[in-house]
Structure 1
Amino acid sequence: MKTILWATLTANGNYAQSSPEHPPKPETLADFAAQASAAGNFIVGRRTFEGMQQDASRVAQSGQASGENPFANLNIVVLSQTVKDVPGVKVVSTPQEALDYLQAKGHTTALLSGGADLHNTFLSQGLVNEAIFNIAPVMEGKGYNLLLDQEHYQYKDVQLLDCKPLGNGVVQLHYALSHE
């Protein structure tokens, strides 16, 4: 199964932190909705999922979507060590369990949507094939970073597959990750 990590980063390389004062850019929300729709699914951590429920209404209101919930009819998997049941989604405790569930549902691609802990867990286990980074035109003083392996220095070559502007200063970089 192909696994694609999707994230929005700041211009200085941190994970973009959203808040009511600094919501996600509409262009990134619309892109995520399109990527999730194409995959038919997404995997997300519990805290990010809770925030995404608010983001779904922002996407619908932004005029970037059809006005409907962009996550309706998708297989949503929440990775959590503490929560065991979330209505309307599958809750799992390991990355491999998430991928196995989606593969059993007939998916050939899984979309990882957040947050940093989830991304770092999949990366450290070598389960990411591609990465899509939306670079937002903001800089933040603190934030989270992607880590390949938190205990050992790792260096991983990537291959640029695509680079395109999404609008409003947001640039998208799409990479294939090597698995050596």
Structure 2
Amino acid sequence: MKTVLWATLTANGNYAQSGPENPPKKEALDDFFTQVKATGNFIVGRRTFEGMRGNGGPGPFADIDIVVVSKSATEIPGVTVVSSPEEALKYLEQKGHQTALISGGADIHNSFLGQDLVDEVIFNVAPVMEGRGLNLLIDKENYLYKHVQLLDCKPLGSGVVQLRYALDRAVS
């Protein structure tokens, strides 16, 4: 199964923190909906999912397989809850998906990256800089480098630039 990590970064490389004072750019959100529609699924952390859900209801994700990775939650109505990235991928593969979209939460992104479970990354770089922020890490302990191959680079509008890279995964 191909795995694609989708994230929005700031211009200074942090994992973008959205909020009332810094809402996500429409172009990045539109791209997320396009990616979700193409894959038919997405994997997200519990806190990020709760933030996305807002007032509840299926919204634009009515026919989408949503997998929430959580160490504490065991059941969330309308979605599948698993306790690990491997379980999330196994579930989507059993459902017949060819591609899994990893969509949210720095902890979820870092767990997939740290376990070498990502084939491709899509970074939407927003035209904002943060003083403090979270980082996406392939390893929390060491100074490792992972070479990537640029697949595509395109402007999405409003100053958002999308970078798409392929990652070489270790063969197990």
- Alpha-carbon shift at residue 141 of structure 1 (Å): 0.5
TM-score where L is the length of structure 1: 0.91
Is residue 102 from structure 1 mapped to residue 92 from structure 2 by the alignment? yes
Residue identity in the other structure for 2:146: K
Deviations 1:108-148 (A, max 9, x none): 10000011110110011110000000000000101100111
Find 1:89's aligned residue among 68, 79, 85.
79
Counterparts in 2 of 1:178 and 1:27: CA distance versus 1, 3 Å: same
Equivalent residue, structure 1, for 2:38:
38
Over the matched positions of the two proteins, sequence identity in percent amounts to: 68
- After superposition, where does 1:4-83 map in structure 2 within 5 Å? 4-54=4-54, 69-83=59-73
TM-score where L is the length of structure 2: 0.95
Residue identity in the other structure for 2:35: Q
CA distance in 2, matches of 1:3, 1:55: 29
Is residue 167 from structure 1 mapped to residue 161 from structure 2 by the alignment? no
My pick for the range that moved more, 145-154 or 119-128, is 145-154
Deviations 1:27-56 (A, max 9, x none): 111100100110000000001111112399
Q: Extract structure 1 runs of 4+ deviating beyond 2 A.
A: 54-57
Equivalent residue, structure 1, for 2:119:
129
Gaps of 5+ in 1: 58-67
- Is the Cα–Cα contact under 8 Å of residues 4 and 101 in structure 2 kept in the other structure? yes
Matched position secondary structure for 1:44: strand
Gaps of 5+ in 2: none
Deviations 1:86-105 (A, max 9, x none): 00000000100000000000
Q: CA RMSD in A?
A: 1.7
CA distance in 2, matches of 1:55, 1:174: 32
CA distance in 2, matches of 1:179, 1:99: 15
